[in-house]
Structure 1
Amino acid sequence: MIKFFRRIRQQLLKENKFSKYLIYAIGEIVLVVIGILIALAINNSNQNRVIEEKEQIYLNGLKEEFQISKLKLSELIKVNQENFSGAKQILDYITHSNEPPTEIQFSQLLFNTFVNDISFNPNNSLLNEMINSGSLKDISNAGLRIQLTNWISTLEQVSRQENDLGMRREKIFELFRNNENSLRTIFDQAGVTQDLGAPARENHNSNLKLLNSIAFENNMLMFILTSHATEKAHYEPLMQDLNAILGLIDNELE
């Protein structure tokens, strides 16, 4: 088409028909501009399609990561609740000293309450890669981008709380780093020694005197308080954030 206009323009120029020449010259320019615009539109369309496909890949990957993280958090909440419940049972024995547990009951309760450390380890490999590479901008939903960015800072707050809970747990262990209280009694009567294939002692030092210890009671109270705060002030809001992120991802995938 452009060659056609060019031939006519050259012919008109030879015949000194300048006005018609100008019209055809403008027509040729218009065609060139239209062609450029069409090419740009096609290129933009292709780029948008590539970006959309890339976004869908990211969204599916993020959904899988956060679903796994949700399962981990649910399990961690369950463990923390069990630790909290066990610690309250110990406090109940301290409060009602006329109804003490047996040595075996106390050993098993101590072991089950403090054997598990609490630490949330979410799956963030893809999210971290997106943040480090600047690919988070490929997520078109601004609200989702904000939630994903805030997720990392929220995890840092949760980690600090978990460290505090771990410190409270460690305070309980410190009471057994002396000659008055016996970890061996706990391990033997909770079945740990047997699981390790190690010989058990026939006679055990009693740990029941801890129930009359002010230091033990103080540390138990701080552990209970911190465990409760970990769930209510950190894990539950974290689960809400997690569900909100999954909801936004699902909306973008529909």
Structure 2
Amino acid sequence: MLKFFRKIRKELIAEKKVSNYILYAIGEIVLVVIGILIALAIDNANEQGIKREKEQIYLMGLRDEFETSQTKLKELISFNRQSYEDSKTILVYMVDPENLPDEQELANLLYNALAFDISFNPNNSLLMEMINSGSLKDISNPRLRILLTNWISNIEDILKQEMMLANERDKILDMFRSEQNSIKTLYDLTGVSDELGIPASSDRTSNRNLLKSKEFENNMLMFILTSIKTETLHYNPLMQSIDEILKTIDNEIKE
């Protein structure tokens, strides 16, 4: 095609047809510009296709991460709820000294209330990689970018709340380090001693005196309050955030 136009140009120059040559030159320039624009459009389309493919890979990875985090959070909410519900049951016994639980029931309640560390550990490896590498900009949905950014700050807030909860829990556990109470009794009656390969005590120290302790009651009340606030003010909103993120991701994934 270019050889053809060059041949015409030579003929026009030889025939000294200046006006026709000018028109031809303009046409040739237009043809070159059009060719450049077409090439740029093709390159841009290819680049956009690569970006969309990369975004889809990120979206599917993020969906997997947040689905795992959702499962973890559901389990953690269940553990936390069992913890404060059994703690409330202990307080119910404390207001009725004539109807105290036996040592076995008390041990089970104390174990369920205090044995489990309440800590949310979300799957954030891909999201953190995207943030650190600047790849979060590859997510085209601006609302999703905001949700993902807010997610990190929400996790930091929850970590602070969980530290407060752990502190209240430790105050109760510290009471078992005194001469009046016994962690060993809890271990023996809940089967922990067997799991650790520790022989059971022949003469157990009772923990029922805790139910008459004002210090224990105060610590339990603070622990229950902090546990409930952790669920209602932090875990439940976080679950709503996960639901919104997953819904937005699903709408963006092309399957």
TM-score tier, shorter chain, comes to over 0.9
Report the equivalent of 1:76: 76
User: Which amino acid in the other structure matches residue 108 of structure 1?
Assistant: N
Report the equivalent of 2:218: 218
User: Which amino acid in the other structure matches residue 78 of structure 1?
Assistant: S
- Give the structure-1-normalised TM-score: 0.98
Report the equivalent of 1:181: 181
- Give the structure-2-normalised TM-score: 0.97
Count of equivalent residues: 254
Instruction: Kindly state the Cα deviation for residue 6 of structure 1 after the two structures are TM-superposed.
Output: 2.2
Q: Secondary structure at the match of 1:180?
A: coil
Query: Is 1:139 aligned to residue 157 of structure 2?
Result: no
Counterparts of 1:113-152 in structure 2, within 5 Å, are 113-152=113-152
Q: Report the RMSD for the aligned CA atoms in angstroms.
A: 0.9
Report the equivalent of 1:54: 54
Deviations 1:78-123 (A, max 9, x none): 0001001110011111122221011121112111211100010011
Report the equivalent of 1:97: 97
Instruction: Kindly state the Cα deviation for residue 242 of structure 1 after the two structures are TM-superposed.
Output: 0.2
Distance 1:33 1:10 in 2: 21
Distance 1:13 1:251 in 2: 62
User: Which amino acid in the other structure matches residue 169 of structure 1?
Assistant: R
Report the equivalent of 2:193: 193
Report the equivalent of 2:156: 156
Report the equivalent of 2:227: 227
Distance 2:161 2:25 in 1: 75
Distance 1:182 1:107 in 2: 10
Q: Secondary structure at the match of 1:176?
A: helix
| Contact in 2 for aligned 1:188/1:194 (Cα 8 Å) | yes
Q: In structure 1, list runs of 5 or more residues that go unmatched.
A: none
User: Which amino acid in the other structure matches residue 213 of structure 1?
Assistant: S
Greater than 6 Å deviation, 4+ residue runs = none
| Contact in 2 for aligned 1:12/1:20 (Cα 8 Å) | yes
Distance 2:174 2:192 in 1: 19
| Contact in 2 for aligned 1:93/1:101 (Cα 8 Å) | yes
User: Which amino acid in the other structure matches residue 14 of structure 2?
Assistant: K
